[in-house]
C-alpha cells in the first residue's frame, strides 16, 4: 500500500498512480497482474546553467550496452521509492549530486518483452564529476534543442519540453 501525498502543485494525489503521479510506491509493491510484471524505473532530466555563458544545459548519458543517448535513469531496488531511485541513478550514472525539482511525468513502453514505466523528475545538478564506467561511458551537457536531437528515443524528447515548462522557460 502506498501513502497518499501531495503533487508538486499541492493537490492531493491518491496511490493508484492513474495519472502517472509521483506516488511513494516502492519496488516491493509491484503490479500483481496476470501479465508480465512492470519494470519500474526512475530518472531525472538533469540540468545546470552553463559555467561559461549561463545558458540552460541538459545532461545526457551514453550507455555503450545499448549504444544510446538518454536521461539518467535506472531500476528501483527492492523497498526503494521512486524519487530516491531517480537521485541514486543520477549520482551513479553521472557522478553529480542533484537537487530534485518538480515531478515531470512517466514514460511507458515495452522493453525486452516486458512493460516498463519510468518516472522522471526535474533536477538541478550540484557538485560532482563524471567518471566513465562500464554502464555509462560518455556524458554531454547540451542546450535543450541539441539535447532533444541527440536523444536516441523520440519519446524522451517530451521530457525536454516538460522540463522547460516546469522551469517556466516556455
* CATH number for the domain that contains residue 43: 3.90.79.10
C-alpha span between 101 and 117 (Å, rounded): 20
Residue 17 lies in a domain: no
Residue 77 lies in a domain: yes
Residue 56 lies in a domain: yes
Residue 98 lies in a domain: yes
C-alpha span between 107 and 111 (Å, rounded): 12
Which of 130, 50, 61 is CA-nearest to residue 96?
130
Could you report the average pLDDT of every consecutive run of 10 residues in the chain (170 residues)?
33 37 50 75 98 95 97 97 98 98 97 95 97 96 98 96 94
pTM of the model: 0.81
What letter does residue 29 receive in the DSSP assignment?
G
C-alpha span between 90 and 59 (Å, rounded): 10
31 grid coordinates: 503490479
Domain ranges, residue 79: 35-166
Residue 105 lies in a domain: yes
For residue 36, the model assigns a pLDDT of: 84
- CA distance readout (Å), 3 to 12, 27, 94: 11, 14, 30
For residue 170, the model assigns a pLDDT of: 73
What letter does residue 7 receive in the DSSP assignment?
-
Amino acid at each position: 500500500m502506498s501513502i497518499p501525498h501531495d503533487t508538486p502543485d499541492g493537490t492531493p494525489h491518491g496511490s493508484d498512480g492513474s495519472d502517472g503521479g509521483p506516488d511513494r510506491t516502492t519496488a516491493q509493491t509491484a503490479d500483481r497482474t496476470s501479465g508480465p510484471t512492470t519494470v519500474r524505473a526512475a530518472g531525472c532530466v538533469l540540468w545546470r546553467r552553463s559555467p561559461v555563458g549561463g545558458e540552460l544545459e541538459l545532461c545526457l548519458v551514453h550507455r555503450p550496452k545499448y549504444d544510446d543517448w538518454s536521461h539518467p535513469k535506472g531500476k528501483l531496488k527492492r523497498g526503494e521509492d521512486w524519487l530516491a531511485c531517480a537521485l541514486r541513478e543520477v549520482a551513479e550514472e553521472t557522478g553529480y549530486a542533484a537537487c530534485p525539482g518538480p515531478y515531470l511525468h512517466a514514460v511507458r513502453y515495452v522493453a525486452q518483452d516486458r512493460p516498463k514505466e519510468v518516472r522522471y523528475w526535474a533536477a538541478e545538478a550540484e557538485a560532482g564529476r563524471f567518471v566513465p564506467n562500464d554502464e555509462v561511458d560518455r556524458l554531454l551537457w547540451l542546450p535543450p534543442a541539441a539535447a532533444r536531437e541527440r536523444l536516441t528515443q523520440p519519446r524522451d524528447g517530451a521530457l525536454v519540453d516538460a522540463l522547460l515548462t516546469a522551469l517556466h522557460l516556455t
